[in-house]
């Protein structure tokens, strides 16, 4: 669901009182997001601009974001012109979906200059454009050359042309409604969803003027679910049903932070996704070939029979022949066709049959080993991809480190020194929650975290849990006699951080940690269980939200 002009007006109204504020640092945290660290009368704040085609927005946020070590070209330009500059004002163009921030900075000569930062939040056309005081474009997040759009060019050095107004009625001042035309076409700032909500309210007796008064007075964001998709606006969503009310910026963070985080992780750690996907595909293509070769190797006895027949019947002159039929030892009526190499005589072909027999017989052991290795590799990379799908930035970085430790990826030259085992475990971030009875529950979200928790942090008498038959999180209850509520909560965490998170009655195995054994030579995160019990659980995001786990 896209942002509309009325919601952008609410955002601008929330940001304006915090101005002026000085820009201290600038990061491009993904392909479509710019983060400004600022300081003003309200102290340090973060201003986020997202030009994502679906999640585009502008807000002040308290969330923490990963910052890439290598800035992009546009960020370098922003840093050159805007770091140390002050945002003096922000103004929306009527009720259109774009606004402009006026910024004062000192040029290379030390003279004070005025710059404009245009923020256009128009779905797939969302953009951030830095414009000089002469009205020329300095740079833009998304450049639009003439061959893409001859009407409006967005390129360095081009004259900036603002998005033309739509010339619709202002809903705050002109409230005469044409019932034959949708509100979206009549009034500025109205999205189809807000039009639907207003029409529903008017059908149930509320006047358009009262709806606009409610919109004007609102400082909240109301969020509801419609067909399993979030819908939102600054007034209660009567046309949808029950909804939750949040402060405006907090509501946007709840809506989009975790959804966009997955895109952000893929962009920042995209090489990990690419490597794991490619490796999984390679192993999946390799396995059928190995199985076919193994089936052929199991049929090796026929080659010994071929050799025996050639020697027994004293076959000699076979040069130039590609095959020969001889009577079977077991059945006088049966003929066996033996393939021959036309370059050799009968005795040489017999020797070649024995060589092939011995090769295939020995190859069975090798092929069995390779099939087991390949199946383990497939399981390993499937597990990594599932972990990456549920990972935050730090978890994804730990997965990168795991791939380096397992010699799948090369370590960058800048960080060649390998940390000691103790240091590595200290770097791993283990998540923890506390159940309603005060019992601690820890869980890992990747193989490094799982290993560190299971083998280095948990005690032998504590209860260990894992989703049965799924790749997933190792969970430890820091108690040897947990209550049923604590056990069910820990099982829910194990089920949620597995491939079964969207299933029901997920089986979760649990046992004391003393019942676990390391598997020699196994990949990280693999354990062997002794005696264990199983509990069946339905992952409930609403329950987990209360403990700060599931995405809201």
Confidence (pLDDT) at 552: 42
- Tell me whether strands 506-512 and 533-537 are parallel, antiparallel or unpaired: antiparallel
Q: Residue 169 corresponds to which tokens in the numbers above?
A: 């009625």
> HEC states along 247-304?
EHHHHHHHHHHHHHHHHHHHHHCHHHHHHHHHHHHHHHHHHHHHHHHHHHHHCCHHHH
Q: Residue 229 corresponds to which tokens in the numbers above?
A: 């998709």
Confidence (pLDDT) at 69: 66
Answer yes or no: is pLDDT of 149 > 80: no
Answer yes or no: is pLDDT of 417 > 50: no
Cβ atoms of residues 450 and 516 within 8 Å? no
pLDDT in tens, 52-84: 888 889 999 988 887 776 788 999 999 999 999
Residue with more model confidence, 527 or 256: 527
Listed in sequence order, the residues at least 6 apart from 157 whose beta carbon sits closer than 8 Å to its beta carbon are 136, 137
Q: What is the mean pLDDT of the chain?
A: 89
Among 283-287, 411-415, 469-473, the least confident range: 411-415
Band of the pLDDT at 424, cuts 50, 70, 90?
Answer: very low
pLDDT in tens, 223-241: 998 887 889 999 999 999 8
Confidence (pLDDT) at 426: 46
Among 36-40, 538-542, 546-550, the least confident range: 546-550
Answer yes or no: is pLDDT of 210 > 50: yes
DSSP state of 216: H
DSSP state of 143: -
CA distances from 16 to 20, 92, 188, 521 (A): 8, 11, 21, 60
SS3 340: coil
Band of the pLDDT at 412, cuts 50, 70, 90?
Answer: low
Q: Residue 202 corresponds to which tokens in the numbers above?
A: 């008017």
Confidence (pLDDT) at 479: 94
Answer yes or no: is pLDDT of 425 > 70: no
Confidence (pLDDT) at 195: 94
pLDDT in tens, 168-181: 999 999 888 988 89
Beta-strand (E) ranges in 344-468? 431-434, 440-443, 463-467
As a whole number of angstroms, the distance between CA 421 and CA 403 comes to 16
Q: Where are the domains of the chain?
A: 5-140, 183-266, 272-388, 427-545
Q: What are phi and psi of 420, to 5 degrees?
A: -70, 165
pLDDT in tens, 465-519: 999 988 899 999 999 999 999 999 999 999 999 988 888 899 999 999 999 999 8
Q: What is the DSSP string of 445-464?
A: SSHHHHHHIIIIIS-TTSEE
Band of the pLDDT at 413, cuts 50, 70, 90?
Answer: low
Among 53-62, 139-148, 420-429, the least confident range: 420-429
**How is the beta sheet containing 229-233 ordered, strand by strand?**
229-233, 220-226, 244-247
Confidence (pLDDT) at 551: 53
Give 5-140's CATH code, choosing from 1.10.3210.10, 2.70.98.60, 2.30.30.140, 2.30.310.10. 2.30.310.10
Q: In the chain, what are the helix, strand and coil shares in percent, each to the nearest 5?
A: 40, 25, 35
Q: Residue 89 corresponds to which tokens in the numbers above?
A: 């004002």
pLDDT in tens, 90-125: 999 999 999 999 999 998 888 899 999 999 999 888
Confidence (pLDDT) at 6: 95
Average pLDDT over residues 185-208: 93
Confidence (pLDDT) at 235: 94
């Amino acid at each position: 669901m896209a942002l509309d002009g009325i919601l952008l007006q609410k955002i601008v109204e929330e940001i304006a009182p915090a101005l002026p504020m000085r820009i201290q640092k600038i990061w491009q945290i993904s392909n479509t997001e710019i983060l400004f660290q600022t300081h003003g009368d309200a102290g340090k704040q973060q201003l986020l601009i997202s030009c994502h085609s679906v999640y585009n927005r502008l807000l002040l946020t308290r969330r923490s974001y990963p910052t890439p070590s290598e800035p992009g070209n546009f960020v370098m330009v922003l840093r050159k012109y805007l770091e140390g500059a002050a945002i003096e004002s922000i103004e929306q163009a009527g009720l259109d979906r774009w606004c402009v921030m006026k910024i004062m900075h000192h040029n290379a000569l030390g003279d004070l200059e005025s710059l404009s930062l245009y923020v256009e939040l128009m779905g797939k056309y969302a953009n951030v454009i830095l414009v000089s005081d002469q009205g020329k474009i300095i740079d833009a997040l998304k450049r639009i050359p003439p061959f893409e759009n001859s009407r409006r060019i967005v390129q360095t050095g081009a004259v900036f042309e603002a998005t033309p107004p739509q010339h619709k009625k202002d809903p705050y001042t002109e409230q005469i409604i044409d019932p034959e035309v949708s509100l979206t076409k009549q009034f500025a700032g109205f999205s189809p969803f807000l039009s639907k909500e207003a029409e529903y309210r008017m059908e149930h007796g509320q006047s358009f003027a009262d709806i606009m008064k409610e919109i004007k007075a609102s400082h909240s964001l109301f969020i509801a679910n419609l067909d399993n998709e979030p819908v939102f606006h600054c007034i209660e969503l009567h046309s949808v049903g029950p909804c939750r009310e949040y402060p405006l910026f907090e509501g946007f963070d709840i809506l989009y932070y975790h959804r966009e985080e997955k895109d952000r992780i893929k962009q920042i750690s995209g090489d990990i996704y690419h490597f794991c996907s490619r490796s999984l595909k390679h192993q999946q293509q390799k396995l059928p070939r190995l199985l076919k070769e193994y089936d052929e190797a199991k049929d090796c006895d026929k080659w010994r029979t071929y050799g025996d027949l050639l020697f027994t019947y004293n076959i000699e002159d076979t040069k130039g022949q590609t095959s020969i039929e001889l009577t079977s030892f077991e059945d006088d009526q049966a003929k066996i066709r033996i393939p021959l190499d036309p370059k050799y005589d009968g005795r040489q072909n017999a020797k070649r049959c024995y060589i092939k027999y011995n090769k295939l017989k020995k190859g069975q052991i090798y092929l069995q080993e390779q099939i087991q290795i390949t199946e383990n590799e497939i399981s390993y990379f499937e597990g990594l991809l599932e972990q990456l799908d549920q990972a935050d930035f730090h978890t994804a970085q730990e997965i990168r480190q795991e791939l380096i430790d397992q010699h799948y990826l090369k370590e960058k030259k800048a960080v060649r020194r390998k940390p000691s085992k103790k240091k590595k475990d200290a770097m791993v971030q283990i998540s923890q929650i506390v159940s309603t009875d005060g019992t601690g529950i820890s869980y890992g979200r990747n193989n490094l975290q799982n290993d560190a928790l299971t083998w280095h942090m948990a005690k032998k008498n504590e209860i260990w849990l894992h989703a049965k038959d799924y790749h997933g999180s190792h969970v430890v209850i820091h108690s040897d006699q947990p209550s049923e509520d604590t056990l069910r909560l820990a099982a829910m965490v194990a089920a949620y951080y597995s491939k079964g998170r969207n299933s029901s009655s997920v089986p979760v195995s649990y046992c004391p940690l003393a019942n676990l054994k390391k598997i020699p030579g196994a990949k990280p995160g693999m354990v062997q269980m002794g005696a264990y019990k199983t509990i069946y659980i339905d992952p409930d995001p609403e329950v987990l939200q209360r403990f700060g786990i599931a995405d809201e």
